[in-house]
Structure 1
Amino acid sequence: MVNCLAKVTAWLGQRMFLIVLSALLIGFISPISDSAALRAIVIGAFAYMTFVTALDTSFKEFLQVLKRPVIPVWILMLIHIVSPLIAWLTGLILFAGNQSVQLGYLLGASTPIGVTSVIWTALTQGNVSIALVAVTLDTLIVPVMLPFFFKVVIGQTLHIDYVQMMVQLLLMVTVPSILGMTLHDYSREILTPVIKTAANFISKIAFFAVIFVNAAIVGPSISWDISTLKIVLITMFLVAAGYLIGFLGSYVFKDRSKETALAMIYCVGLRNISFGLVLALTFFPPPVAVPITMFILFQQPFAAMIPYLFRKINKKYLA
């Protein structure tokens, strides 16, 4: 039974694209209304996935990265300076006169690192410690960085409940990560093959559920027409550019490795789109949320395709 479950889990792990695609398609056609209970389920699923991911991560390695956070700080610079600049210029050039789309792209590219970056880094055997440190540092600087950024760029002050956001991120990332890494280092006898196999299988189900719920919530807000199609195509380019920026950014480090490159790719490429949607719908007119909504169409499918694409492009990294 355990061997069968392990084979199924391994099979799913090698075909994450199918999980992502099916979750998106089913979610888009499912009539589910947003609710506090549904959000709580998503947070719980995220926390569980992070916990299972951290079970394979050493707390000592995490502390070593935290003591020398050069790579995570560079990741944050790419996220909060390079990516927003590219998105803003893209909006100005390709959507001249359409301020809603311009702001949507800027906001989408300025949001914090997505929690799923940690999950994908682990799934592709990247450096999870780097991803965890990057997410942790981003949680600390976003309350200062994002309002300042929008004040400088568009002259608008954002009054956001960052306390609630930080609490959610603590519940989704920090607390389960510490628990998982602690078990990894000090209670390995608890983590029997049976328990780890079952935990990994359930995490795949939780991953499907998270993507499904987000797709179901976002789906009704998409109105498909010619103008939307243009936004979809440009958004696809911007999402791909985010992953590419992370990959190219890894070349800054002479001692870079496959694990470091993967962590940077996913941390720079994956954003907290749910948070971006909340900002857009709270502080801006509804059309600003349209480009941000489109990000969800490509982030997870591209994340699932990256191991295959970069294995062919650069065997040194992903062989």
Structure 2
Amino acid sequence: MARQSLGIQMNTWFEKYMFVLIPLSLVLGVLCSPLLIDHVPLVPWLFGLVTFVMGLGCGWKDIMAAFRRPLLFLIVFVMTHLVAPLLAYGFGAVLFGSDSSYTIGLVLFAVIPLGISSVLWVEMARGAVPIMLALVVVDSLLSPIVVPLSLSLLYEQSIPFDGWAMLLDLLLIIVLPTLAGIVVHEWTRGQAKPRMAPVLLPLSKLAFVGVVMLNAAAIGPFVRTWDTEAFIVFAAVCGLVAAFYALGHVTERLWPPHLSPPQSTLGFASGMRNISLGLVLAMQHFGAETAVAVVLAILIQQPGATIYHALIRRRQRVLAGNLN
């Protein structure tokens, strides 16, 4: 019982300080690059563990719940995989040129699937957690089609890019581990994750940190050559993240009242991405320069979620005060 309690306490601590741990692991990865770079091949395995644990928390019924709300699913899909990549492409084309590696990195950051951490933020904002989890899982399962297709439509043949190789990577590190988690969830009637939570939850957080740290080690030599352009990319990422949250928030405010508004679901769905996956794809298929935007997104996404959550809570308090 004490061991269980310790495991859950560790996981709670990880979740509470993840917004600090991720940037810190990024910095440590760059600084310790000579020591860590030989272990970069472990990244797909660590990421597979993270997605397996995500799948453990979701059953087929949860996935079908997303499809039973087709309007919500369609709007999230359009925001994250049509509007967001076009915004990123526009930002990058104006600042760096359409074929710049920085622009490709911005587009990649925009087009990758929803981030699993969005579920945690939706829970803290008292939003629709089961629906958010279903959206994340479904979006992740569709990523082998959506990510290569989106990049191909925007760039056609203008960048060297093997869509089939990316599809295979996404199948191996996203789809198969997620499906394995769902199968175990169904086989154990949803009991696997609660029973294994004291071990698996903190372990998956450590794996998540490891993914960021090892990928940061891989780009370490390149980071040391950054110039003033990196600050422009950082400003572009900040602008994009803010635009994504604003897009989700405005859409949420326009949501028809009779369709059961999703509260904070659309805001976090639109604003958060699976950045660790983006970092893996950038390093394996495009190179360190393309990974710059994804790396810098790590520094802004969780603080951005913190600010957005604070704004939501403030609005909720104002509304509660008006009702009283």
Give the superposition deviation at 1:171: 1.9
Give the superposition deviation at 1:51: 1.2
Provide the rounded CA distance (Å) in 2 between the counterparts of 1:268 and 1:118. 4
Stretch deviating more after TM superposition (303-312 or 198-207): 303-312
Give the superposition deviation at 1:227: 4.0
Provide the rounded CA distance (Å) in 2 between the counterparts of 1:81 and 1:34. 35
* SS at 2:57 equivalent: coil
Unaligned runs of 5+ in 2: 124-128, 318-324
2:292 is the alignment partner of 1:293: yes
- Paired residues of 1:50 and 1:173 also in contact (CA < 8 A): yes
Name the structure 1 match of 2:142. Answer: 137
Q: How does 1:1-319 map to 2 (within 5 A)?
A: 1-32=3-34, 38-39=40-41, 41-66=42-67, 69-93=70-94, 95=95, 98-99=96-97, 103-111=100-108, 113-114=111-112, 117-124=114-121, 125=123, 126=129, 127-151=132-156, 156-158=157-159, 160-188=161-189, 191=192, 193=194, 195-222=196-223, 223-251=225-253, 253-254=255-256, 255-258=260-263, 260-261=265-266, 262-267=268-273, 272-281=278-287, 290=289, 292-297=291-296, 299-315=297-313
Give the superposition deviation at 1:301: 3.4
2:261 is aligned with what amino acid?
R
Unaligned runs of 5+ in 1: 282-288
1:60 is aligned with what amino acid?
K
Cα displacement string for residues 293-313 of structure 1 (whole angstroms, at most 9, x for unaligned residues)? 14312x233332244322221
Cα displacement string for residues 240-263 of structure 1 (whole angstroms, at most 9, x for unaligned residues)? 434443444444543332463333
Provide the rounded CA distance (Å) in 1 between the counterparts of 2:115 and 2:231. 31
Stretch deviating more after TM superposition (205-214 or 164-173): 164-173
* SS at 1:272 equivalent: helix
Cα displacement string for residues 25-59 of structure 1 (whole angstroms, at most 9, x for unaligned residues)? 10110124756x623x1111111111112222222
Provide the rounded CA distance (Å) in 2 between the counterparts of 1:202 and 1:293. 27
1:296 is aligned with what amino acid?
V
TM-score between both structures, scaled by the size of structure 1: 0.78
- Paired residues of 1:113 and 1:138 also in contact (CA < 8 A): no
- Paired residues of 2:238 and 2:300 also in contact (CA < 8 A): no
Provide the rounded CA distance (Å) in 1 between the counterparts of 2:222 and 2:143. 29
What's the C-alpha RMSD, in Å, of the aligned pairs?
3.3
* SS at 1:160 equivalent: coil
Cα displacement string for residues 112-168 of structure 1 (whole angstroms, at most 9, x for unaligned residues)? 7446x44313433441110121232332134433223213xxxx4456332222222
Provide the rounded CA distance (Å) in 1 between the counterparts of 2:161 and 2:92. 24
2:294 is aligned with what amino acid?
F
1:175 is aligned with what amino acid?
L
| Equivalent residues, number | 300
Give the superposition deviation at 1:89: 3.5
1:263 is aligned with what amino acid?
A
* SS at 1:147 equivalent: helix
Give the superposition deviation at 1:198: 0.6
Name the structure 1 match of 2:322. Answer: none
Provide the rounded CA distance (Å) in 1 between the counterparts of 2:144 and 2:193. 33
Provide the rounded CA distance (Å) in 2 between the counterparts of 1:235 and 1:308. 16
- Give the direction of change, closer, same or farther, for the CA distance of 1:26–1:60 in structure 2 (3 Å limit): same
* SS at 1:215 equivalent: helix
